[in-house]
Amino acid sequence: QKEVEQDPGPLSVPEGAIVSLNCTYSNSAFQYFMWYRQYSRKGPELLMYTYSSGNKEDGRFTAQVDKSSKYISLFIRDSQPSDSATYLCAMSTRGLTNAGKSTFGDGTTLTVKP
């Protein structure tokens, strides 16, 4: 079983739609959760990060974490064509024995059509 499973997509939505991107994880030691956006052949761009269960909002983006279900989501409201990209979830542990490497999902490619 993979440590991080991400809904594979691809996902195609009309402009203005609400988008839901999802990941599950198996390692209960994961404590820190991140969402990145990646354009083709570019570096991952950090969108949101959180460490607590519940919702965190930033503009059109909401990150949701449910540690009891080991499930995280990213919601995009009023999606725009410029949101078209691959979205990566990532998770890390925190501890004295490592410097918090991130484990990534495979990514979900989103296309927002005008």
Binding site for another protein (CB under 8 A): 31-32, 34, 36, 41-46, 49, 88, 90, 92-95, 97-107
CB of 114 to another protein, least distance (A): 27
In angstroms, what is the minimal distance from the CB of 67 to another protein? 15
Q: Whose structure tokens read 């991952």?
A: 44
| Token representation of residue 106 | 């495979």
Comparison of 75 and 104: residue with beta carbon closer to another protein: 104
Burial of 70 (0-12, 13-18, 19+ CB in 10 A): middle
Residues in the chain: 114
Q: Report the nearest approach of another protein to the CB of residue 38 (Å).
A: 8
Q: Cβ(65)–Cβ(31) under 8 Å?
A: no
The smaller minimum CB distance to another protein, of residues 73 and 103, is found at 103
Between 101 and 114, CB nearer to another protein: 101
Other CB atoms within a 10 A radius of the CB of residue 91 amount to 23
At closest approach, how far in Å is the CB of 17 from another protein? 26
**Nearer to another protein by C-beta: 42 or 77?**
42
3-state secondary structure of 96: coil
